[in-house]
Amino acid sequence: MAEQAGWQGERLTIGLLGGGTVGAAVARGLASRAEEWGIGIAGIAVRDLAKAQAAGLDRIAPLTTDPAALAASDDVDVVVELMGGLDPAMPIVEAALKAGRPVVTANKLLLATFGARLESLARSTDTALRFESAVAAGVPVIGVLARDMSANEITSIRGIINGTTNYILTKMESEGWSYDQALAEAQKIGYAEANPKSDVEGEDAAAKLVVLARLASGAWPALSHVQFDDAPGITGVTAAAIADAASRGARLRMIAEWQNGGDDASKDSLSVRVTEVPADSRLGTTVGGGNLILISGDLIGDLTLAGAGAGPGSTASGVLNDLLAIARGEGSSWGDLPAAIAAPAPAWIKAAKRGAK
């Protein structure tokens, strides 16, 4: 295997785990740039061989249904994990890092659940772990927090980081549809999964918020640290609520927010809630599947990042940029930030436990 210090001038070969819409976009993007970049694909691990063959992935690289074997192959320099979920993603990523094999992942649930453990392992083996596409797809918010705002104390992060729910809310506003009608349309066009729970109940946004909070605070919160409304995500939004907000010149948006609690990390707050925002604000005018993230720092003030936060092209852009970073020897997504710790339980959880006694 090539040395992690950088593959400049040498050919870099990846094992691509996942041949879905994002994996296929990454495979095609690499295939069109293979000679220019010197990055090839040793194999693509897929769930359904027939489906992958129908999509033409077998013409790009050999296919397999054994992702663990591909990731451990001596022919693989870097593992690109696009399967999602925790199993088998976690044991495969963990094994790769233990072996000193760099990993690129877009798996926000993996990072939000095991981020502290994976970061500790990557640091102990001096192995790159990159995850730009885990939040807002190709919008480079991870790099901005880790590198470009590292001189700042981040005071807050607030924004729309789930395109599916934003699309549904936008359709409810513009078409006067019910939540069920808008959800059905989102599923029809591929914005929402057949089981949309992770998106519409805010779980996806919460996982992304945990990743952002790690880079802003230097600690990995737990998913349980994120507060939700009684009706989580957008599941409690009605056409009447949309109209009521409009009557006040406002719109409803599902906002993920992290607030810096100061020297006491237990006072940091994380939440995912449907919130009224002015219709003419940056958040209010973010429509469809768009993402918008507002970052506040003590020196720079407010910074806004916006763009396509979902979709195969945008996500593939972030993954490919991570691969180029590894090829340049840039290391992990946290850059030169100090090692993170596990965040303490927030004050609201401690108060709830005291009240339950």
Among candidate residues 102, 130, 158, the one where a domain is terminated: 130
The CATH number assigned to the domain holding 36 equals: 3.40.50.720
pLDDT of residue 292: 97
Q: What is the pLDDT of residues 334-345, one digit of tens each?
A: 999 999 988 999
CATH number of the domain enclosing 185: 3.30.360.10
Q: Where are the beta strands (DSSP E) in 82-170?
A: 103-105, 129-130, 154-160
Question: Looking at 98, 108, 208, 353, which residue is catalytic?
Answer: 208
Q: Are residues 109 and 85 in the same domain?
A: yes
Identify the pLDDT of residue 6: 44
The verdict on residue 155 lying in a domain is yes
Q: Is 191 left (phi over 0), alpha (psi -120 to 50) or beta?
A: alpha
**pTM as predicted:** 0.94
Is 283 within a domain?
Answer: yes
**One domain for residues 21 and 122:** yes
Q: Is residue 171 among the annotated active site residues?
A: no
114 and 168, same structural domain? no
The answer to whether residue 22 is domain-embedded is yes
Q: What is the pLDDT of residue 189?
A: 86
> Domain range holding 287?
146-307
Tell whether 235 and 185 lie within a shared domain.
yes
Which of 96, 130, 164 is a domain's end point?
A: 130
Q: Which of 269, 309, 271, 274 is nearest to 288 (CA)?
A: 309
Long-range contacts (CB closer than 8 Å, 24 or more residues apart) made by 346-350 = 346/221, 346/225, 346/261, 346/266, 346/267, 346/268, 346/269, 346/270, 347/261, 347/266, 347/267, 348/227, 348/269, 349/224, 349/225, 350/266
Q: What is the pLDDT of residues 65-106, one digit of tens each?
A: 999 999 999 999 999 999 999 999 999 999 999 999 999 999
How far apart are the C-alpha atoms of 16 and 63, rounded to whole Å? Answer: 10
Q: Which residue in the block uniquely carries the two structure tokens 């690289």?
A: 61
pLDDT over 70 percentage in the chain: 96
Q: Would you give per-residue pLDDT tens digits along the chain (357 residues)?
A: 433 334 455 789 999 999 999 999 999 999 999 889 999 999 999 999 999 999 999 999 999 999 999 999 999 999 999 999 999 999 999 999 999 999 999 999 999 999 999 999 999 999 999 999 999 988 999 999 999 999 999 999 999 999 999 999 999 999 999 999 999 999 998 888 889 999 999 999 999 999 999 999 999 999 999 999 999 999 999 999 999 999 999 999 999 999 999 888 888 999 999 999 999 999 999 999 899 999 999 999 999 999 988 788 999 999 999 999 999 999 999 999 999 988 999 888 877 776 666
Query: 47 and 82 in one domain?
Result: yes
Long-range CB contacts for residues 86-90, cutoff 8 Å, separation at least 24? 86/110, 86/113, 86/114, 89/17, 90/114
